[in-house]
Amino acid sequence: MNKTDKIICQAQREGRKALLEPEAKTICEEYGIAINNFMVAKSAEEAAKAAEKIGYPVVLKIVSQDIIHKSDAGGVKVNIKNKEEVKAAYNTILENAHKYKSDARIAGILVQEMAPQGTEVIVGAIKDPQFGQTLMFGLGGIFVEILKDVTFKVAPITEAEAAEMIVGVRAYPLLNGYRNTPASDVKAIVNVLMSISKLVIDHPEIKELDLNPIMAYEKGTKTVDARIILE
């Protein structure tokens, strides 16, 4: 059994449909997707130690099966620069989570490497009742949320099809670079799409998947948030 099978089995045993971000990221990593380093802390002191190991600046996030959209719950703090800020953020996130959902089950606080800003892209998958595992691509933020500028293809896809998905969004020229932003590594985004295509075909029990956002750089990508929902 590989890590992915183990994580999925454990969630199913515990009756959890939503995988936690650290679980989803471990799965992504096993499929060759670049993620940022992370540790789960259970106390403010532990969080400070983790931040020291990872290196500042860090990002702190709530880890709860009951909080799917972490920022909506005040559960994400970015650009934390020192031990005092880590401890303060740790406590604020827990308070916010409690206010948001008083009975939320909390597995800990995720301490992770802060990724440099890149061009934000989104890769998703959804199990369509008719077509089966279907992949989605779009650019982050308003492009997906407001403009619904996304492309879809039924998995599994070829590399050529992955490239078509990327070129197919209206916002594609942004990936060619603009003003002070360099061109993004489209080949690396193709690789993320190929990895997710393989993952959802290997695991038909995945009902929904979201890598949102993936930072795309001149060289490579980094996936800073991952969400997987099981059937």
What span, in angstroms and rounded, lies between the C-alpha atoms of 209 and 24? 9
Q: Report the nearest approach of Mg ion to the CB of residue 225 (Å).
A: 3
Among 119, 131, 136, 130, smallest CA distance to 197 is for 136
In terms of CB distance, is 71 or 91 closer to ligand ADP? 71
In terms of CB distance, is 97 or 115 closer to ligand ADP? 115
- Cα angle for residues 57, 215, 169 (degrees, 5° grid): 160
In terms of CB distance, is 161 or 185 closer to ligand ADP? 185
Q: Which residues bind Mg ion (CB under 5 A)?
A: 212, 225
In terms of CB distance, is 110 or 169 closer to ligand ADP? 110
What span, in angstroms and rounded, lies between the C-alpha atoms of 59 and 11? 25
Residue 191 touches which member of ligand ADP, Mg ion, none, C-beta under 5-8 Å by kind: none
Q: Report the nearest approach of Mg ion to the CB of residue 212 (Å).
A: 4
Q: Report the nearest approach of ligand ADP to the CB of residue 137 (Å).
A: 17
- In DSSP terms, 106 is beta-bridged to 64
Concatenated DSSP letters for 179-210? TTBPPP-HHHHHHHHHHHHHHHHH-TTEEEEE
Taking CB positions, which residue lies at the least distance from Mg ion? 225
Distance of CA 96 to the CA centre of its chain: 21
What span, in angstroms and rounded, lies between the C-alpha atoms of 114 and 170? 29
Residues 6+ apart with CB under 8 A from 52: 83
Distance of CA 147 to the CA centre of its chain: 21
In terms of CB distance, is 161 or 210 closer to Mg ion? 210
Q: Which residues bind ligand ADP (CB under 6 A)?
A: 36, 59, 61, 69-71, 76, 78, 112, 114-115, 212-213, 224-225
Residue 194 touches which member of ligand ADP, Mg ion, none, C-beta under 5-8 Å by kind: none
Residue 59 touches which member of Mg ion, ligand ADP, none, C-beta under 5-8 Å by kind: ligand ADP
Q: Report the nearest approach of ligand ADP to the CB of residue 116 (Å).
A: 8
Among 137, 211, 146, 223, smallest CA distance to 172 is for 137
Q: Report the nearest approach of Mg ion to the CB of residue 227 (Å).
A: 7
